[in-house]
């Protein structure tokens, strides 16, 4: 337990020292602001900028449309920035040889991976929570927050756990490749491959990436919560599996001096 606490403090200090917490939090707050504001005013602004006689059809500004924009921005811009900011959590330790100093103190290797996973997951949770609070504040001003909070929370959970899955993917491939660039490429490939597989309806409902679209459908009332269970369980399963394999591989890995 003492080892875990020491490593947790180390990881938090690293995120603060490299300003990663500030970057991630700022991006998510910005998404929480621009999603409702863009929904409310972007169409009118663009229409004013067009030459006389030209028209562009936009979806009517509404609370549901604001959620559509918010979830889209989180799953695209938010998660992309998050992956970029955290891609070195494991691979940096190998590239900079700092892992040698950690292990030389007799710290359990599994604890090293768990500390990185826990701290990164908490930072993502904090950033996402602040983002949704900011978003709800502005949607409350514009439309009154008529969508039930339980639906919003569950939809947010789907996105959160998908982000957590990407953390475990990051750790897994960082442990294998020991290289930040390769890890980044494979992390994006992991998401892109799922999107291609998603064109097959029989497979799509079991893919973790399906959670990113299902969260919108729940808010719109197009699907029931039980229809999201296969993708959610798949997300949790692969998160746990990748962490377990990462710890196993790390325990057997020979560290170059």
| Pairwise CA distance, residues 91 & 94, whole Å | 5
Residue 201 has a pLDDT of 84
Q: What is the pLDDT of residue 37?
A: 92
Q: What is the pLDDT of residues 104-151, one digit of tens each?
A: 888 899 999 999 999 999 999 999 999 999 999 999 999 998 999 999
User: Higher pLDDT residue, 186 or 254?
Assistant: 186
Q: Identify which has the larger pLDDT, 3 or 51.
A: 3
Q: What is the mean pLDDT of residues 53-65?
A: 75
Is 41 strand, coil or helix? helix
* pLDDT number for residue 96: 86
CA angle 222, 77, 32 (to 5 degrees): 70
Contact (CB, 8 A) for 31 and 73: yes
Other CB atoms within 10 A of residue 44 CB: 11
Per the CB < 8 A criterion, the answer to whether 159 and 75 are in contact is: yes
Alpha helix positions (H), 50-179: 63-73, 79-86, 88-95, 98-103, 109-142, 149-177
**pLDDT in the model for residue 47:** 62
Chain segment 63-77, per-residue pLDDT in tens: 999 999 999 999 989
Mean pLDDT score of the chain, rounded to an integer? 90
pLDDT for residue 55: 62
φ/ψ of 116, rounded to 5, equals: -65, -40
Q: State how far the alpha carbon of 30 is from the alpha carbons of 19, 35, 97, 109, in Å.
A: 17, 8, 35, 37
pLDDT band at 220 (very low <50, low <70, confident <90, very high): confident
Query: What's the confidence (pLDDT) of residue 102?
Result: 85
Residue 82 has pLDDT above 90, yes or no: yes
Distance CA 34, CA 72 (A): 12
Total residues belonging to the chain? 257
Q: What is the pLDDT of residue 103?
A: 86
Other beta carbons within 10 angstroms of residue 54's beta carbon come to 8
Model pLDDT, residue 114: 95
Q: What is the pLDDT of residue 52?
A: 63
Return the biggest CA–CA distance within the chain.
73
Q: What is the pLDDT of residue 2?
A: 81
Which pLDDT score, from 0 to 100, does residue 210 have?
Answer: 94
* pLDDT number for residue 54: 63
Q: What is the pLDDT of residues 23-47, one digit of tens each?
A: 999 999 999 999 999 888 876 666 6
In this prediction, what percent of the chain has a pLDDT beyond 70?
92
**pLDDT value, residue 104:** 84
How many Cα atoms within 13 Å fall on the side-chain side of residue 187?
34
Task: Compute the distance between CA of residue 55 and CA of residue 133 in angstroms, rounded to an integer.
Answer: 34
Residue 57's pLDDT band (cuts 50, 70, 90): low
CA distance 132 to 56: 29
Ordered by start, the domain boundaries in the chain are: 2-252
pLDDT of residue 233: 96
Q: Higher confidence at residue 255 or residue 251?
A: 251
């Amino acid at each position: 337990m003492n080892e875990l606490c020491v490593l947790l403090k180390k990881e938090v200090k690293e995120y603060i020292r490299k300003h990663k917490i500030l970057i991630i939090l700022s991006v998510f707050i910005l998404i929480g602001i621009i999603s409702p504001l863009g929904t409310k005013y972007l169409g009118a602004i663009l229409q004013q900028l067009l030459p006389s006689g030209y028209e562009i059809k936009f979806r009517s500004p509404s609370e549901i449309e604001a959620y559509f924009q918010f979830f889209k921005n989180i799953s695209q811009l938010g998660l992309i920035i998050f992956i970029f900011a955290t891609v070195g959590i494991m691979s940096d330790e190998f590239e900079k040889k700092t892992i040698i100093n950690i292990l030389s103190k007799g710290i359990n290797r599994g604890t090293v991976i768990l500390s990185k996973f826990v701290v990164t997951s908490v930072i993502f949770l904090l950033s996402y929570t602040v983002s949704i609070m900011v978003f709800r504040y502005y949607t409350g001003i514009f439309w009154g927050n008529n969508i039930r909070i339980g639906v919003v929370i569950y939809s947010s959970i789907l996105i959160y756990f998908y982000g957590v899955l990407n953390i475990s993917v990051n750790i897994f491939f960082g442990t294998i490749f020991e290289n930040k660039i390769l890890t980044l490429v494979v992390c994006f490939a992991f998401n892109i491959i799922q999107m291609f597989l998603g064109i097959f309806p029989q497979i799509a409902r079991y893919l973790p990436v399906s959670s990113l679209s299902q969260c919108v459908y729940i808010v719109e009332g197009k699907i029931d919560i039980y229809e999201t269970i296969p993708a959610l369980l798949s997300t949790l399963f692969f998160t746990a599996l990748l962490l377990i394999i990462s710890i196993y591989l790390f325990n057997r890995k020979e560290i170059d001096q």
